[in-house]
């Protein structure tokens, strides 16, 4: 039987209540100590470390506003659009709840992209945080699925036709494509069955998986400890300790970083509220104007494009044309010849066979299928990042200057791909998208080679950089 802690009879009421709870629910207090008051984080966090807590905040906003929206939403193709209008016009404060949810969806991806960028530049995916990164990438995939399914629910023109286009992409999968698309739609066209399926997954299935992954992500992070801008480990047998055996370069997460994050939350909420009250559509990027028109299966919009946070990958899909496939065949052929000239022994035969098989596969299936592969591969390749980066320095601070330039070019291309994905197709846009797609995959696939080249700065044994 557990031993109860006793406190003086004249102790304050708050202390008595805390003691009463701790005696009856010690696990919660132990968890608080492990993950908050006695969790030591590096003392040099900067503004890039706001975005993890902000992602958790937006997740809570989405869940709470989603609950209130479900109270009035009708998952019926004949009633869905009208129910959204009812929420906007007749439900008390319904317009605010709806705009918080729609703006929250875009802001979720803003903070997640910033969070992932921080992990990329500071090497937060490197040993011993590989599993933390993998859980994070799985969260990103779940967010994409959640956002895509939620996008159909307003049943506007862009919702309907966007879902029609994306679901039809699955039909490009060889052999099982048509059956797979039929399974996802639940019908031969996007209709009431599709709406009900997407509603079920958006409200119940995907959020449960997402919450489980978020918990796993946080637990895995707190088991190995947080990374920092210097990429120096503050825990472990070789890390310096103070007189009490605590990390000398660490500080308790609470109260230091809870206060730190409150500042970030305040700045975020000012931007968030400004968008909600003054421009919830944000020029058509957060809410497309076509989506304020009821879905009409007989009237196709002039230009169909996904929401902005999907557009980089949509650009890669559109960039994968027959000429692009021919270019890929040429790249594989040249890479095979170079490898044959530089490699000796039996490996030469394996390289030649691999190049021939790769070219044969590219020519066997049409460009539409390879576009789907490229679009999916652009996300899947992120899972392998911990094993692609062989740099002797984790943080970009101690890498060669040209590495920083390379990361900058990568970011520019990603933003340009996102912009082109919103625009109608054009010859020059397709060419730029193809170059951006090749650079995106080249950045990761060639990383085992280029990440080791150059003169690296000495990595300090202890944290030396100030927090701000």
Q: Which residues are annotated as a binding site?
A: 101, 115, 202, 217, 222
Look at residues 200, 307, 190, 233 and name the one whose alpha carbon lies nearest to residue 41.
233
Chain length of the chain: 468
- Tokens matching residue 406: 């390379």
Look at residues 254, 255, 252 and name the one whose alpha carbon lies nearest to residue 41.
252
The answer to whether the CB of 141 falls within 8 A of the CB of 379 is yes
> Could you give the angle at the alpha carbon of 329 between the alpha carbons of 323 and 333, nearest 5°?
145
The answer to whether the CB of 190 falls within 8 A of the CB of 158 is no
List Cα–Cα distances, 252 to 15, 39, 258, in angstroms.
Answer: 22, 5, 10
Alpha-carbon dihedral sign for residues 135, 57, 280, 415: negative
Phi, psi at 462, each rounded to 5°: -130, 165
- Tokens matching residue 85: 């209008």
Residue set of the binding site for heme b: 101, 115, 202, 217
b vs e for 369-391, b when ≥16 Cβ sit within 10 Å of the residue's Cβ?
Answer: bbbbbbbebbeebbbbbbebbeb
Exposed/middle/buried for residue 84 (C-beta within 10 Å: 0-12, 13-18, 19+): buried
Residue set of the binding site for a ubiquinone: 222
**Distance, CA of 425 to CA of 291 (rounded, Å):** 21
Look at residues 306, 84, 56 and name the one whose alpha carbon lies nearest to residue 199.
84
DSSP string, 195-218: HHHHHHIIIIIHHHHHHHHHHHHH
């Amino acid at each position: 039987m557990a031993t109860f802690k006793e406190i003086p009879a004249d102790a304050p009421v708050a202390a008595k209540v805390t003691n009463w709870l701790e005696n009856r629910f010690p696990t919660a207090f132990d968890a608080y100590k492990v993950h908050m008051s006695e969790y030591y984080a590096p003392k040099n966090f900067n503004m890039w470390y706001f975005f993890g807590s902000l992602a958790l905040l937006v997740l809570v906003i989405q869940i709470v506003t989603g609950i209130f929206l479900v109270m009035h939403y009708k998952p019926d193709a004949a009633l869905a659009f009208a129910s959204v209008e009812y929420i906007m016009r007749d439900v008390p404060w319904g317009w605010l709840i709806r705009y918080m949810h729609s703006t929250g969806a875009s802001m979720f991806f803003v903070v997640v992209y910033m969070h992932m960028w921080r992990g990329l530049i500071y090497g937060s995916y490197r040993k011993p945080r590989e599993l933390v990164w993998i859980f994070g990438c799985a969260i990103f995939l779940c967010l994409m699925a959640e956002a895509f399914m939620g996008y159909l629910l307003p049943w506007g023109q862009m919702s309907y036709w966007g879902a029609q286009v994306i679901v039809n992409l699955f039909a490009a999968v060889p052999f099982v494509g048509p059956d797979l698309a039929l399974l996802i739609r639940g019908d031969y066209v996007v209709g009431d069955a599709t709406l009900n399926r997407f509603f079920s997954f958006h409200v119940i299935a995907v959020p449960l998986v997402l919450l489980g992954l978020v918990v796993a992500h946080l637990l895995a992070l707190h088991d190995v400890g947080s990374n920092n801008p210097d990429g120096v480990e503050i825990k472990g047998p070789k890390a310096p300790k103070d007189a009490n055996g605590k990390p000398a370069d660490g500080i308790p997460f609470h109260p230091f970083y809870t206060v730190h994050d409150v500042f970030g939350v305040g700045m975020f909420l000012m931007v968030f509220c400004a968008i909600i009250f003054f421009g919830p559509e944000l020029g058509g990027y957060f809410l497309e104007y076509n989506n304020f028109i009821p879905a009409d299966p007989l009237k196709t919009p002039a230009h169909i494009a996904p929401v902005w946070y999907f557009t980089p990958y949509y650009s890669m899909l559109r960039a994968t044309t027959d000429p692009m496939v021919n270019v890929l065949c040429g790249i594989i052929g040249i890479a095979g010849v170079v490898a044959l000239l530089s490699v000796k022994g039996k490996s030469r035969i394996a390289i030649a066979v691999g190049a021939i098989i790769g070219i044969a596969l590219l020519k066997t299936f049409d460009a539409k299928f390879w576009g789907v592969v490229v679009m999916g591969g652009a996300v899947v390749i992120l899972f392998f990042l911990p094993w692609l980066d062989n740099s002797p320095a984790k943080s970009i601070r101690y890498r060669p200057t040209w590495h920083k330039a390379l990361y900058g070019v990568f970011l520019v291309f990603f933003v340009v791909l996102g912009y082109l994905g919103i625009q109608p197709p054009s010859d020059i846009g397709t060419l730029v998208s193809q170059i951006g797609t090749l650079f995106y995959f080249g950045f990761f696939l060639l990383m085992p080679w280029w990440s080791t080249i150059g003169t690296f700065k000495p990595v300090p044994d202890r944290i030396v950089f100030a927090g701000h």
